[in-house]
Structure 1
Amino acid sequence: MKKVFIALALAGVSAATSLGAWAEQPAVASDSAVKALFTQLGLNAKKVNTTPLDGVVEVITNRGVFYASEDGRYLFQGTLVDVQNKENLTEAALSGVRLEGVEQYKDSMIVYKADKEKGKITVFTDITCGYCRKLHRELEDYLEAGITVQYLGFPRGGMGSQGYKDLMNVWCAEDQQKALTDAKAGSTPKEVKQCNAPVAEHYQLGQSFGISGTPAIILSDGSMIPGYQPAAAISVAIDQLNTKS
């Protein structure tokens, strides 16, 4: 039973199906104790929702999904799975958060649009990440497969790192696409003074999605693929989503 539970949790079972049902879960009327607990821990509790478990609430934070007792005394982090219905409720909650976040920052993405688009992926990327560079080297494969690639910045070293400064310069470049391609090829981005690109916001958004490394690929249903995947694999995933819709 333990192996089955872990397999379901890791596989993200039926996340898209459960998202519809999970969206019907109401917010908790009085959530001050829970929010106070998260404030003490340095976390921003954006929303507190009910769960199928008596006395346990779901908390959407700036660092992902947590669970807490209704009185704000106990806190735990993990994956909540409805074994009977084979639904990963945690992934469903995160999928909704990701869709909202991607929509919020759509105007600050660096986008490579496919001529015959059949789907889009949103990729959290870093310049120094080896697999991020590999994905970008294969950009034409994605575009030829009808996959538009839209990037958000995620400096793995944090907002005080050189990677953050480099991403800022890329996002502030006059030609963002060329700057990102050059940077992925190993060139140091040209410094742009008085740059106000929202890379810090991208980074914080990624953390709220549960991202800890790059590349992280968000599909159109809000599900996430943590790591590099070739264009052929992403194409199959998009075809499956298009078939469902």
Structure 2
Amino acid sequence: MNKRFLTLAFLAAFTPLTACSAGASSEAKPAQPTAAAVKKAFAERFPNRPVKSVAATPLPGIYEVVLPNRQIMYTDAKVDYLFLDANLIDVKKRESLTEARMASLSRVDWSTLPLADAVKEVRGNGKRKLAVFSDPDCPFCKKLERETIARLDNVTVYTFLYPLAQLHPDAERKSRQIWCSADRTAAWTGLMRDGKALSGPDNCATPLDKLQKLGDSLGINGTPALAFESGRLVSGAQPLEQVEAWLDEKAAK
């Protein structure tokens, strides 16, 4: 049972309890500490854990703490207690505030992507745009290629070669071979969709180191990872219908 299902089940079970509740007290409430004060308290408690941001949540006395690796945790004003791997839910809206915040933190500025360093494939009129961080030895990347990308139309796909050497020791060599090919797109699609073996040199200059740094900066630690013009960044071999919907999303203003 996945985490999202459990969250919805929890909300459904407690819905009757949200229909009738006592009104809020009219008594004056003490001023809440500022986010800056909470950030200072966190730094004093954990001097070796840099903090990217601190913000108040809708829950009085509870603050969101974001670390540089996009990890979200919650704490009280004095940082006496921490909520790790928590999911803050807006019960009335039936929404996860944590999931929404994670999506916001993970957004990609499409204009900053080094598209010249990608394997480019144009399908149909190529109007829609998709960038994929992919490993040539990743079975889920091959699934994405065969079941989703190969069936897309009117899209330009930019594939950033992103070998995960710790999982697939030969993936870096294959990535170099693909980049060194006279026809990179044919080499990539032949391998990933048709199972064709690679041939040719692997000793040309490649952008692999640059792409690893890019992936690290975006918090990508697995493949495939898909970036859309809207700024959405998702991981996994997503189904065709979902990718189609995301391709048609507009960028957030």
**Shorter-chain-normalised TM-score: which range?**
0.5 to 0.7
Gaps of 5+ in 1: 10-26
Residue 167 of structure 1 pairs with residue 171 of structure 2: no
Q: Contact 2:178–2:198 at 8 Å: present in 1 too?
A: no
> How big is the shift at 1:127?
0.8
The aligned residue for residue 6 of structure 1 is: 7
The aligned residue for residue 95 of structure 1 is: 103
The aligned residue for residue 201 of structure 2 is: 190
The aligned residue for residue 105 of structure 1 is: 113
CA distance in 1, matches of 2:150, 2:204: 32
CA distance in 1, matches of 2:113, 2:44: 28
Q: Contact 1:153–1:199 at 8 Å: present in 2 too?
A: yes
The aligned residue for residue 90 of structure 2 is: 82
The aligned residue for residue 58 of structure 2 is: 52
Give deviations 1:189-237, integer Å, cap 9, x for gaps.
Answer: 732355453132144145x2xx554323344444455422343442244
Q: Contact 2:134–2:162 at 8 Å: present in 1 too?
A: yes
Tell which has more relative contact order, 1 or 2 (C-alpha 8 A, sep 6+). Answer: 1
Are the structure 2 counterparts of residues 147 and 193 from structure 1 closer, same or farther at C-alpha, using a change threshold of 3 Å?
closer
- State, as a whole percentage, how many aligned pairs show the same letter: 22
CA RMSD of the aligned region, Å?
4.1
Give deviations 1:60-90, integer Å, cap 9, x for gaps.
Answer: 422x331142555535123332222233222
Q: Contact 1:8–1:86 at 8 Å: present in 2 too?
A: no
- Name the amino acid aligned to 1:149: V
> How big is the shift at 1:102?
4.7
More helix per residue? 1
The aligned residue for residue 151 of structure 2 is: 141
Query: Partner of 1:123: helix, strand, or coil?
Result: strand
The aligned residue for residue 155 of structure 1 is: 163
What TM-score, normalized by structure 2, do the two folds share?
0.63
Which of 70, 73, 80 does residue 67 from structure 1 map onto? 73
Give deviations 1:128-184, integer Å, cap 9, x for gaps.
Answer: 112312333454421x2x233222344344499443454355457665434433553
Q: Contact 1:168–1:199 at 8 Å: present in 2 too?
A: no
- Name the amino acid aligned to 2:226: I
> How big is the shift at 1:59?
0.2
Residue 199 of structure 1 pairs with residue 207 of structure 2: no
Q: Contact 1:95–1:222 at 8 Å: present in 2 too?
A: no
Gaps of 5+ in 2: 11-33
- Name the amino acid aligned to 1:47: S
Q: Contact 2:176–2:204 at 8 Å: present in 1 too?
A: no
Are the structure 2 counterparts of residues 132 and 8 from structure 1 closer, same or farther at C-alpha, using a change threshold of 3 Å?
farther
Q: Contact 2:107–2:233 at 8 Å: present in 1 too?
A: no
What TM-score, normalized by structure 1, do the two folds share?
0.64
Are the structure 2 counterparts of residues 177 and 84 from structure 1 closer, same or farther at C-alpha, using a change threshold of 3 Å?
same
Which of 182, 185, 189 does residue 177 from structure 1 map onto? 185
Moved over 6 A (4+): 36-39
Q: Contact 1:169–1:195 at 8 Å: present in 2 too?
A: no
Are the structure 2 counterparts of residues 202 and 169 from structure 1 closer, same or farther at C-alpha, using a change threshold of 3 Å?
farther
Give aligned pairs, total.
217
